Every structure is written in C-alpha cells, then in structure tokens.
Amino acid sequence: MCIRDRCMDLWRDPRSPALSLVESLLGPRVAQPIERCQVALRFPERWSVEDEAPRIDPRGWHVDGTIKGVHSPFTLLLGVALSDVPTDGLGGGLVVYPGTHLSMADEMRAFALGGEHADKCAFRVKPPLQGGIELKPKRGAVVLVHQKVCHTGGPNLSDMTRYCVYFRISHVDHGSLELAALHDPMLEFEGCHDSMRV
C-alpha cells in the first residue's frame, strides 16, 4: 500500500471520526467525494545564538487559493495530525487567526469580485494580523478550519519534524454556492445553521 492510500484511509476508514465531524458542520451527505490529500511537513528551524529566534510572522498568513487568484477552491480544510505538536514553544503547528472568515469577509469580496479597491484589499497587501493561535494537536487529532480563515504554518523550534495530512472538502453544491457564500461565509455550513439562529 502506498503512502497516499494510507493517508486516504484516514478519511475513508469507517472508524475515523473525520466524516462525522465534517457532517456535523456541513450537514449529512453533502461533502463531495475526496480523492486527494496533502502531506505537510514542518522541519525544525535552526538559528544561531546571535540571531533572534524565529517567530510567527504577522504578515505570513494566507487564505487557501488567494495566492493563485482563486477565492473559493473548497469549503473546509480538514487536518489529521500524524505526529504530536509540542505543547511548549513553537512546534510547527498550524497557526490560525480565529474569526477572520467573518471579519475579513468584505476584503474577500473585494478580492473575488474585483472593482476599484481590489488591488488594495488585504489579500494583496497583507496587513499584519494579531492574535494568531498555534494549534497543538496530538497524533491522530482532527482539526477543521473554514476555508476562509487566515492561517499559516508556524515556525518549528522543536527538534522534531511535524507531520500532518490535509484534506480539502467541498460542499456538494459548492460550485453554485461559492459566490453567494462571499456574502454569507457560513452558507455552506448547513449543520451550523440552527445553532446560529439561537
């Protein structure tokens, strides 16, 4: 069995909680089939004692797709940790900026729809963001992130390589909903609609 097949089993295996977690957000039976995954490694970083230790770059964030000029390539990012991320210091974990899928929605619309302000939108000029949180999952933990949440890979100041596999999940109607979702970032998250009305 090749590495790709073994990684895909993290999604396909009926013992995995991944599908039920996705359906709790998107709704039952609305995730498109997944055929690909990405294995992501963060190697330990080295620096001399004269240099400042690497830190989270407040301008190092991105939203998946925007580097290639695409605003909505999928709905939900699912990560499975293949190794522990150390709990002390920066260990190469995924760094997320909570709530940016909502707070940056106007900027995302400007980026996606063009217009006179498109060249000055945040996804082109990359203003510094504060409040980044490094996720520190244990091996086997599942992480779910809205596609439009700003994020980056954190520096790895540990002595161990961090391993993770990512799946990009799309709502079955993603192609027809992606423009409307620019005005309602939670549109494709049908499993959350009742709780958001409370």
Cα(137)–Cα(189) distance, rounded to whole angstroms? 23
Closest CA to 131 of 147, 150, 113, 115: 150
161 φ/ψ angles, rounded to the nearest 5 degrees: -75, 135
Longest dimension (CA), the chain: 55
CB 82 within 8 A of CB 46: no
Q: How far apart are CA 108 and CA 156, in angstroms?
A: 29
What confidence score (pLDDT) does residue 198 get?
Answer: 40
Mean pLDDT score, 18-30: 93
Q: Tell me what pLDDT residue 13 has.
A: 84
Residue 30 DSSP one-character state: -
Q: What is the pTM of this model?
A: 0.89
Of 155, 149, 8, 181, the C-alpha closest to 65 is: 149
Predicted confidence (pLDDT) per residue in 154-174, tens digit:
999 999 999 999 999 999 999
**Residue 196's pLDDT band (cuts 50, 70, 90):** low
